[in-house]
Every structure is written in C-alpha cells, then in structure tokens.
Amino acid sequence: MWKPDLSNYSGPKYIALADALCDDIRKNRLKPGEKLPPQRELAYGLNINLGTVTKAYVLASERGLVRGEIGRGTFVRKEPPSSKTPWPKENLLPGRIDLRSDFPCSLADDPIFRETFSNLGNHPELGRLLQYQPGSARPDHLETARVWLSGFGVNTLTENIVITNGALHGGFLSLMVLTNPGDLLLTDTLTSPAVRSIAAMLHLRLKPVAMDEHGMIPGELEETLKQNRCRALYMIPNFHNPTASVMPLERRVAIAEIAEKYHLYILEDDVFGSLMEKQVSPVSSMIPALSFYITSFSKGIAPGLRVGYIVPPERFHQRVLTGLRVTSWMASPMMVEMVSGWIKDGNAHRLVSLQAGRIAQRVAIFKKHLNEATVRSNPHCPHVWLKLPSSIRESEAVMVLSRKGIDVTPGEYFSVGSGMMPSGLRLCLGQIEDFSELEYAGRMIHKHFFESSGTPGFHI
C-alpha cells in the first residue's frame, strides 16, 4: 500500500498529502494507472482523519493527478501531472454561485475592444508585428511601458523593463534567474497558490512570515532572517491575495530597510496595483537594486491580454531576457501593440477605471448584509476576506455554504507552513453578473455565521 512520509511537508495535512502524491508520481514511485489505497485504509495507516484523506484526494483530482471511478477506486492518471494551481473552470455548474475564481469583471461590452482589433488589421506595420522582435520587444512598446509604470511610482529607464506574458510569467522568470534549487523563499503566512506552484517547479523551500491585518510584520521578518539564510521574499502589498489588505507606507519602508540590511531580494507582485484609488509607494521604488517589480493588465483590464511588465535589478536584466527567450521568446507583439495604444490614447486608464467601478458595484451589493468587522474589503478589490467567528471552522463554513449553492475558498488553501494563521474565507466577486446572487450570498453568510454570534475580529 502506498504510504508516503509526510514529515518533510509543511502546511495543512491534506495539502501535504496531495503534495506528497504529486512528488511520488513525478519520481515514478507511483505509476500511471496505479490504484491508490482506499481512503479509510490510508487514513488508518497514516494515523490521520478520514476527512483529511478525502480532501487530499479531491485536491489531487483538481490538480489533474488522479481520477476516481465509481465502484473501483482512485487511480493515478496516465497523462503527466498538472500544476498545483487548478485551471479556471470553463463551464460553471448551473444553480451554483462560484466565488472561488479571482477574475476581474468582463469589459467585453466596451466598444474599444472591437474597434482596436479592427484597426490592427490595417496597422501600417502589421507585418513586423507578426514577426519575432529584436531584443524581445519594440523600443516604442518599452517606452510606453515606462510611462505606464511611472504612474505607479516605479521610475526606471526604458532599457530596464522586460515585457512578459502576464504577471505569473513575470514571477516565474524572476525566481528562475534569482534562485537555485533548495533556496529559501519567504512569503506571508497566507499567499497566492501560484507562487507555491512556481516554488515547487523550481524546487524552492517556502517559509512563512507572520502577518496581521496590514500584511507581513517587519519584526517577524527580521527574526526569521536572523535565524535563516534566505534568498528572496515574495509579497503582494496591494490587495493582498487572499486577505485583501493594503500594506501601509510605514510598513513598506520598514521591510525595505530590513531587506537592504540582510541583502534580501524582494519580488513585489503588484498585479492589483492599477485598481488602487490612491497609490502607495512600492517597496521596489525604495530598493531598486534588490527588487523585482511585477505587474500586468490581467486584473485591471482582462487576463486574455497576457501582457505584463517586470522591472528587475539592473544586474539581472540580461538574465531575465534570457529566461524570456527560453520560456516564450517574447510577449505577443500584437497584444502589446494594443495595450500600448490604449496607454497612449488614455483608454488604458479609462478601462481600469471602468473595471474598478464595476468591482465597486459588486462589493457594495455583497456587503449590504455584512459590516466592516465581518469582511475586509476594498471597493476596487475583486476579492474580499470573510473573517469567521472563532467558533466556526473554515471547513464547516465551506460545507454550510456549499449546501446553499455557494462555492468559496477556505483560508487554509493559501497557507504556507503550519502554525497560527488568519481564519477566514476568500470570496471573489468579479465574475458574478447576476447581482441577485451577490445579495443571496451576503444574506446566507450573515444568517449562518453572524446573526447570533456577533462580529469577529481579525484573528492571528
């Protein structure tokens, strides 16, 4: 019977079990088509709860590692394992409200999309846009990127910018050139599942740093650096995923000073930054020699554009360009031309403002039956963080809402390592088109978790 050793895995047991399953498939300890132990037997063999094994098998199925057959059991898939980050679901189940996917609102009804696509067909340099680009990108596209980034407090030279296929690609490139297998990467206690997937692919070790309602705690970061040799820190200071917090300026300054003191590289994921009503200076602007600033248009306009920007430290610029060439050669010149045109004529800012307004509509409707002590949110952030009463476990809350037709993501899905962490649920509002569904979700959450229990605070 397959019986993995979980002693080298951190975090919730069900995630550790799914990770061990992934590793054993990759190392060929589990063969394609091989049958896994029955859940009850594996739970007994590992001395863990049956529910933990069930959740691990479900997570492994979502990752594409295994398939279940009614009456026969669970089997390792015959195709290669997929990423630990699940693909977006193309078809939502009828009658259910999916608050799991952190998508922006659709802007496809805006006429600028059809107009721009139509005009591209008559572009005077269409032939060149369809070819490989010398140096990865056109000089005018890089100059337009510089102008856009300066609006968010990132002042750099045109030749320091690399255009990528989105922020996720930017994060992967940054870690690929910065780290070696076995290096320690610091993150918040809760962080984006995407960075866990990247770390697994690059064989990096993740270590969490304690956080509060303002994000990573500087004192905890310094203590961690005193005791560990760390290469880099990954952070999301604007509209943190999943907690929706915004790190205040004084904390950013403190983290920048600590990073400089310990020569710690910062990966600043600012994919939500364009949606901020009031910009706060990025950490990257304080220590450019130690920072990789990463952003894209995926959350502000549309993820299908696949256009992002990295500003790496100058000494890493050529290595990032090499990484770009070996992973995709370049971002699509056609898409970059479209985005660059919008930046020049003001449509980029207009579309981001339109996105922010549509998100604000959804947040206001959802929160009508809740209050600020219950939900951490920002009017322009597409996800909110539901702070559960201490008497309610995340798994119980997920189950209660599922029975009411509402699908949400528990905080533990974002956890790195074990120990105390904020207890709550991430709820994503951007893709909901029927506002009555948001009303219903808000009412159900209030009724089942807060009607008689009062309002919780932020628990660490």
Please determine, for residue 455, whether its predicted confidence score (pLDDT) is greater than 50. Answer: no
Please determine, for residue 433, whether its predicted confidence score (pLDDT) is greater than 80. Answer: yes
What is the predicted pLDDT for the residue at 156? 95
Please determine, for residue 390, whether its predicted confidence score (pLDDT) is greater than 50. Answer: yes
The strand ranges marked E within 270-389 are 291-296, 308-311, 375-376, 383-387
Mean pLDDT of 36-55: 92
- Please spell the DSSP secondary structure of 166-226, one letter per residue: SHHHHHHHHHHHH--TT-EEEEESB--HHHHHHHHHTTPEEEEE-EETTEE-HHHHHHHHH
The pLDDT tens digits of the residues spanning 143-193 come to 999 999 999 999 999 999 999 999 999 999 999 999 998 889 999 999 998
Distance CA(350)–CA(370), nearest Å, equals 30
HSE toward the beta carbon, residue 340, CA cutoff 13 A: 21
Instruction: Give the domain ranges of the chain.
Output: 13-76, 97-108+349-450, 127-346
The pLDDT tens digits of the residues spanning 98-112 come to 999 899 999 999 999
Please determine, for residue 456, whether its predicted confidence score (pLDDT) is greater than 80. Answer: no
Task: Name residues whose C-beta falls within 8 Å of residue 385's C-beta, 6 or more positions apart in sequence.
Answer: 242, 243, 244, 245, 375, 376, 377, 422, 424, 425, 426, 427
Distance CA(426)–CA(412), nearest Å, equals 10
For the structural domain made of 13-76, what CATH number should be given? 1.10.10.10
| Least confidently predicted of 152-161, 232-241, 311-320, 422-431 | 422-431
Equal CATH topology for 97-108+349-450 and 127-346: no
326 near 189, Cβ under 8 Å? no
Please determine, for residue 412, whether its predicted confidence score (pLDDT) is greater than 90. Answer: no
For the structural domain made of 97-108+349-450, what CATH number should be given? 3.90.1150.10
Please determine, for residue 53, whether its predicted confidence score (pLDDT) is greater than 70. Answer: yes
For the structural domain made of 127-346, what CATH number should be given? 3.40.640.10
